[in-house]
Amino acid sequence: MKLIVGLGNPGPEYATTPHNAGFMAIDRIARLCDVQVTNFRGRAMTAKTRLMGHEVLLAKPGTFMNLSGLSVAALLKELGLGVEDLIVLYDELAFPLGTLRLAERGSAAGHNGVKSISAELGTQDWFRVRIGVGKPPLESGRVIKAGGKDFLLAPMRKQELAELDEVLDRAVRAVEVVLTKGVSAAMNEFNRKVEPEST
């Protein structure tokens, strides 16, 4: 079994914010598998299903973002799984909206959900699908205060949601490739550089 976790904040007020890209990705997988992520276990809303022939548990932590690790650690323990069975999808402020990057390990880079997971698991060596949500706009020549917190917790505009929709489809495909061909193949396919558009 694989544990596939999307990071976000519970509550309707956060549903369309950049910080909830991970939740949106899990919902996308759930729709594909025709399941509802409504079973509460391990401090998360979950759904057991099969994806590409593999048994998986989809999970959206019920803790807030900065305590995501409590839920992830609880689920891994309950399921008897190791970090090698974990796939985490989350928003990445450092990448432009519409980009996707896969990694087998890495630092939190200011992401509180990632920081919490690594702290609870005692390692940074777990697989992640990083969903670019764009950098915050500039106000008077400077980035919005609190390292983009205001930007991450503000609802996205219609055009931004449309762009995010496309990258969520790629995130789902990336997870499918991880399950069918392995981590290396998925990274080779989805981490290719995208050439910038000429103006």
- How much is the pTM? 0.90
In a domain, 76, yes or no: yes
Task: State the CATH number of the domain containing residue 69.
Answer: 3.40.50.1470
| Assigned domain for 179 exists | yes
Q: Note down the domain range covering 96.
A: 2-190
Share of the chain above pLDDT 90, in %: 81
Q: Does residue 199 lie in a domain region?
A: no
Mean pLDDT rounded to a whole number for the chain: 90
DSSP state letter for 145: T
Whether 181 is in a domain gets the answer yes
Residue 178, pLDDT > 80, answer yes
158-181 vs 21-33: helix crossing angle, rounded to 10: 60
Strands 86-92 and 2-6: parallel
Work out how many domains the chain is built from and give that number.
Answer: 1
**pLDDT value of residue 137:** 57
Residue 198 lies in a domain: no
19 flagged as catalytic: yes
Q: Which residue has the higher pLDDT, 193 or 174?
A: 174
Is residue 74 in some structural domain? yes
> Rounded to whole angstroms, how far apart are CA atoms 162 and 169?
11
Taken in order 108, 40, 64, 98, the sign of the CA dihedral is: positive
Q: Is 197 within a domain? A: no
What H or E segment, with its residue span, contains residue 93? none
Around 29, how many Cα atoms within 13 Å sit in the side-chain half-sphere? 32
Q: What is the pLDDT of residue 147?
A: 52
Q: What is the pLDDT of residues 31-66, one digit of tens each?
A: 999 999 999 999 999 999 999 999 999 999 999 999
| Amino acid 139: pLDDT | 46
- Write out pLDDT tens, residues 88-103: 999 998 899 989 999 9
Is residue 196 included in any domain, yes or no?
Answer: no
Torsion on CA atoms 66, 166, 147, 118, rounded to nearest 10? 30
Question: What is the pLDDT averaged over residues 9-21?
Answer: 95
Q: Among residues 17, 18, 19, 24, which one is catalytic?
A: 19
